[in-house]
Amino acid sequence: MREEVTAYVGLGANLGDAVQALRTAIARLGTLPHTRVTRSSSLYRTAPFDAGGPDYINAVAELSTGLNAPQLLAQLQSLEHEAGRERPFRNAPRTLDLDLLLFGSGTIASATLSVPHPRMMERAFVLVPLAEIAPHLVDPQQLRAVANQLVTRVD
């Protein structure tokens, strides 16, 4: 039996039907091997951050998984690929973006994965939905620091 870890995944999309893309992605997260979705946030609309293109739809999902972090990352990248994700340049608009934000209480620093996600505390589109489903992980001061970034609930 695999030991399960709680992981948090940030979801975003701003091409095509972004709302449906996120709903589908949350459902697909629950079909990953040894993984189930234990909670998911509301969907939020945000302006692109350090990027161009249409507004994003964002959310955060809490997973319970028996996968290790590199295995989970590979599964997330596979879901992005299935959704038509292309990476023509840094911060390009996308059909689906899945970021591994937290993996248990662990810290990972490798060439392919950094956990906690290195920029999550700078982004309201991560902190607001994360605070909705896991308020113990987000300090009110962190939310105040990103309060100038407009985040609007869409569902």
Interval 8-42: pLDDT, tens: 999 999 988 999 999 999 999 999 999 999 999 99
Answer positive or negative: Cα dihedral of 121, 47, 42, 6: negative
Alpha helices per DSSP H over 6-96 = 18-29, 69-82
99 is catalytic: yes
* Band of pLDDT at residue 85, cut at 50, 70 and 90: low
Active-site choice (2, 28, 45, 85): 85
**Residue 95's pLDDT is what?**
80
Q: Residue 55 sits in a domain of what CATH number?
A: 3.30.70.560
Residue ranges making up the domain that contains 90: 5-153
Spot the catalytic one: 17, 87, 90, 94. Answer: 94
- 17 among known catalytic residues: no
Task: Please report, for residues 35, 45, 110, the alpha-carbon distance to residue 59 in angstroms, rounded to integers and kept in the order given.
Answer: 18, 9, 25
The tally of domains found in the chain comes to 1
Residues 55-61 have a mean pLDDT of: 96
Answer with the residue of higher pLDDT: 2 or 144: 144
Taking the CA atoms of residue 11, residue 25, residue 62 and residue 87 in that order, the dihedral angle to the nearest 10 degrees is -40
- List 50, 97, 119, 144, catalytic entry: 97
Active site residue 97: yes
Out of 99, 139, 144, 155, the active site residue is: 99
94 is catalytic: yes
Q: What is the pLDDT of residue 106?
A: 85
Look-up of token digits 């972004």: 18
Query: For the purposes of burial, counting CB atoms within 10 Å of the CB of 96, is it exposed (0-12), middle (13-18) or buried (19 or more)?
Result: buried
pLDDT at 86: 57
